[in-house]
Amino acid sequence: MTTENGRPGPPVTSVSIVLLTLARRIESELGSALAPLDLTVSRLGLLGHIAGVPGVSFSDLARMSGTTVQSVHAAVKVLAGAGLVRDNTARAGSASAIEVTPEGARLLEAAAGVIAEVDDLLFGPAADPIQRQVADAVRAAFEGPATS
């Protein structure tokens, strides 16, 4: 885009590019904040899915995570090795029933505090006004219809 005097004007704003840029910043901040808990953003997501759907199967986790069953198996194996989840499979070949352990629940609780800190940093009162507007729009979109 050029202005009347032939100089380049501001670029056309793409919602996709703006949100992707913001998402990368969020993921970076969250990843750094979760590191002391020995968590990554993807492991946190997987742990959250397991906590949200007790007894979830590997196939369902793969669908929810947008990844492959093989990747979920590997990630769950790491989480189980750390004592954060357990697979209550009765026998080989039967459907899995994965659930969060008490240690996994404690870690999720600690992660919730970290997430709140990152939310405040990126979207709280001292954050960039545009980012606060984005947060307000996201909250409004997920609040659902107002009831009277």
Instruction: Report the SS3 class of residue 86.
Output: strand
Q: Which class for 76: exposed (0-12), middle (13-18), buried (19 or more C-beta within 10 A)?
A: buried
Task: Please give the share of the chain, as a percent, with pLDDT higher than 70.
Answer: 89
Q: Which fold has domain 38-119?
A: Arc Repressor Mutant, subunit A (1.10.10)
| Residue 43 CB coordination number (10 Å) | 19
The residues facing 2 across adjacent strands are 8
Per-residue pLDDT tens for 69-108?
Answer: 999 999 999 999 999 999 877 555 666 789 999 999 999 9
Q: Give CA separation, 91 vs 32, 84, 87, in Å.
A: 39, 21, 11
Neighbours of 13 (CB within 10 A): 8
For residue 3, what pLDDT is reported? 63
Predicted structure pTM score? 0.79
* Mean predicted lDDT score pLDDT of the chain: 89
CA distance 83 to 101: 7
